[in-house]
């Protein structure tokens, strides 16, 4: 069970840190606070402060996954989640639901075309079924 909780904590930490840079963060933040707080205002406030500090680090990282601060931040949240899950294994389902919900959310896309002159349509798509015609 500890290996399963460790894997879940790692997945949860990665998800939480990645979502700090996205528009969905406000909603996810409240879910993380509820997970850690479990109705205790003092726990909620300390986690809120840690989440706010972490979001500043994520925002200043420029979205680089290899930024050592993000690696350390993810490790920190993995440890926090693992301790929480070891103390209250019943919260595993709530964390699984948070991760599942987060991975179902569409992300933002930013495209840049450089080094060539484009003289026609440019398309980025996940799945295209059927014909695609222009003009």
Decide if 125 is inside a domain: no
Burial state string for 69-97 with b = 16 or more CB within 10 A and e = fewer than 16: ebeebbeebbebbbebbeeeeebbebbee
Decide if 13 is inside a domain: yes
Decide if 135 is inside a domain: no
Into how many domains does the chain fold? 1
Identify the pLDDT of residue 18.
Answer: 82
**pLDDT above 90 coverage of the chain, percent:** 23
3-7, 48-52, 55-59: which is most confident: 48-52
Half-sphere exposure of 70 (CA within 13 A, CB side): 18
Decide if 123 is inside a domain: no
Residue with tokens 């992300």: 107
* Domain range for 92: 2-104
Decide if 6 is inside a domain: yes
**pLDDT at position 79 over 80:** yes
**pLDDT at position 39 over 90:** no
Decide if 55 is inside a domain: yes
The mean pLDDT of 82-103, rounded to a whole number, is 89
Q: What is the pTM of this model?
A: 0.68
Decide if 25 is inside a domain: yes
Of 34, 27, 29, 100, which is closest to residue 58 (Cα–Cα)?
29
């Amino acid at each position: 069970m500890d290996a399963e909780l460790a894997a879940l904590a790692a997945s949860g930490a990665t998800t939480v840190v990645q979502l700090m840079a996205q528009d969905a963060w406000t909603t996810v933040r409240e879910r993380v606070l509820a997970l850690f707080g479990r109705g205790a205002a003092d726990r909620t406030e300390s986690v809120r402060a840690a989440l706010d500090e972490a979001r500043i680090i994520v925002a200043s990282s420029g979205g680089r996954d290899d930024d050592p601060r993000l690696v350390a931040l993810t490790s920190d949240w993995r440890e926090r989640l693992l301790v929480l899950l070891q103390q209250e294994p019943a919260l595993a389902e709530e964390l699984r639901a948070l991760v599942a919900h987060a991975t179902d959310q569409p992300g933002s896309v930013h495209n840049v075309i450089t080094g060539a002159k484009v003289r026609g349509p440019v398309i980025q798509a996940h799945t295209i079924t059927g014909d695609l015609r222009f003009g």
